Structure 1
Amino acid sequence: MKSILALLALLIALPVSAAQLTLELDHASKTWQTADLLKHPDVQTVQIIDDVSYKRTMTYRAVPLAVLLPGLEPKSHLQAVALDGFAAELAAAPLLEQKGARAWLAVEDPAQPWPALAEGKPSAGPFYLVWTNPQAGHISPEQWPFQISGIKQLKTVAERFPALLPDPKLAANDPINQGFGLFQKNCLACHRLNGAGDAQVGPDLNIPYNPTEYFGGDFLKRYIRDPQSLRHWPQAKMPAFATSVLPDNELELLVGYLKHMASRKQQP
């Protein structure tokens, strides 16, 4: 019994374990170990003001994400997959920027673990996509995936999931298509629509019902702005989308896309 208790005490005392990150690009694949990233020649200490996940200023050891994506073209499309099923769809162009809003892969050091995201929850590690100067690039909360296990290059969302597409008769610059772009950026990391998408966190936004069918008046917009103001429960995961992240005109476009898709239901 004493030996079992001693082993349990040892396990509890152990620091956060090292992890590995898998990068899968069309032209190359690589698996990075925590230790290798922490010793990377481009690793730096970065300070993140008003961190999206921790809601305060945080300091990380981080590598510019662009240096981990050699040969990737700005027109490419990536997906960051988290341990909990969150699947962030990421256009490559912002990730490759060297100035303005800049993407960094923050690496959790097992010897200096990050704090828990909330009581009873793990940290944002082992890997977390953070941004310096995010306001310069209009970066949304969904572009800050944490607990990342891998990043892979994929075809575009439209190519992979045609069930998400608006009416093909619409012009490319139609407001509905603009709303579709905003849906990809802000919603697809957590939600599916018509059963299409890789996320496993939030409910489908068209099957069986589209939120524009059961939110009356401006309540859907109010819900997107601050979900907890309409439905409050401790385990809620949906973040609030402030006007600095999703301006009023873009919120209008997003809701327009959802309303349009309510008439284009497809059973999974």
Structure 2
Amino acid sequence: MNQRALWIGLLTLLPFTHLHAAELTLELGNGSQRLSSTQLLAHPQAQRVKISDDVSYKRSMHYRAVPLAALLDGVQPGDHLQLVASDGFAAELSAAPILSQTGSQAWLAIEDPAQPWPVLGKSKPSAGPFYLVWQNPAASQIGPEQWPFQLTAIRKLAPVEQRFPQLLPAADASPAVQAGFAQYQKNCMACHRLNGAGDSQLGPDLNIPHNPTEYFSGDFLTRYIRDPQSLRRWPQGKMPGFAVEVLSDKELGELVEYLGHMTGRKMQP
């Protein structure tokens, strides 16, 4: 038997999960910890959960999952978390809804290498190996951007306002602009930067060199946010549309107010 054949033979003797187990990194202010999918699938609180109206799969799904709160040792409701995906998506989220015993329930779904999840679409992988899913998301106003999939890391960080002052509106900005800043953090920041500020590596900067309010005239920007493909049909386009159930007309107007306000506050990265 040659060396290559011997190596292949030895690999077949290893457990499948040891070959394909993924790792999730936790950085919660007390050092860095890595948990493999094998460890998480065997977690004492792991159980089978049903997720109705799954944001990524657009249908009901069942997962083996762990309450995310069970993994956040030392995290307090007032803390701020960032959940990072392998494609550069970086969701910003208060710890409060994750730790709450009422309202929405946050679960870390774990893909079993022996029972892989469905793919998300043609030529796309699954939502695994780790995926933040929610039961009863409406109770805590959890939006689609708070369902990050293909997770690689969860970090406890300072709030966005402290980490990225380049995103702050002027102190005398209107209440609508201030509210729009909150909508930006919830719905846009996971994919985009603004003034170079943010940790996402996915979408373009929304102020440098030009703000979308500078090149979308009339109501085209709001129409684009509602349904990007209706204005710019592009098979590779990744931006989802934001339905009125997710972002109300009032909230969308506030978001556009914030973006317009920031045209006067451009800062080079």
State the TM-score, normalizing by the size of structure 1.
0.91
SS for the counterpart of 2:181 is helix
Equivalence for 1:102: 105
Q: What's the secondary structure of 1:176's corresponding residue?
A: helix
Shift of 1:96: 1.2
The CA distance in 1 between the partners of 2:217 and 2:50, in whole Å, is 42
**Which runs of 5 or more residues in structure 1 are unaligned?**
none
Contact 1:163 1:266 in 2 (8 A): yes
Give 2:213's aligned residue.
212
Choose 255-264 or 32-41, whichever is displaced more. Answer: 32-41
Alignment of 1:74-153 (within 5 A): 74-153=77-156
Structure 2 alignment gaps of length 5 or more: none
Q: Deviations over 1:130-174 (max 9, x none)?
A: 111112221111101010011001111111111111002347xx2
1:141 and 1:239 in contact (8 A); partners too:
no
The match for 1:40 among 39, 43, 46 is 43
Q: What does residue 65 of structure 2 align with?
A: 62
SS in 1 for 2:197: coil
Q: Distance in 1 between matches of 2:112 and 2:163?
A: 36
CA distance in 2: counterparts of 1:253 and 1:231, whole angstroms = 23
Kept after mapping to 2: 8 A contact 1:21/1:33? yes
> For 1:139, what is the secondary structure of its paired residue?
coil
Task: Tell me if the contact between 1:37 and 1:107 (Cα under 8 Å) persists in the aligned partners.
Answer: yes
2:188 matched to 1:192? no
SS at match of 2:202: coil
- Give the alignment of 1:150-161 within 5 angstroms: 150-161=153-164
Contact 1:20 1:32 (C-alpha < 8 Å) held by counterparts: yes
Mapped to 1, the partners of 2:239 and 2:77 lie a distance apart of: 29
Deviation at 1:33, TM superposition (A): 1.4
TM-superposed deviation, 1:27? 3.5
Residue 28 of structure 1 deviates from its aligned partner by: 5.2
- Identity across matched positions, percent: 64
- Matched with 1:227 is 228
Q: Which residue of 2 aligns with 1:180?
A: 181
Match of 1:52 in 2: 55
- Separation in structure 2 between the aligned mates of residue 206 and residue 157 of structure 1, nearest angstrom: 17
User: Which residue in the other structure is 2:261 paired with?
Assistant: 260
Structure 1 residue 244 and structure 2 residue 245: aligned?
yes
The letter for the 2-side match of 1:121 is K
TM-score using structure 2 length: 0.91
Whether contact under 8 Å (1:74, 1:93) holds in the other structure is yes
Letter in structure 2 aligned against 1:219 = F
Structure 1 counterpart of 2:24, which letter? L
Query: In angstroms, what is the RMSD of aligned CA positions?
Result: 2.0
Q: 1:62-98 CA distances to partner (integer Å, 9 max, x unpaired)?
A: 1111111122111111111111111111111111122
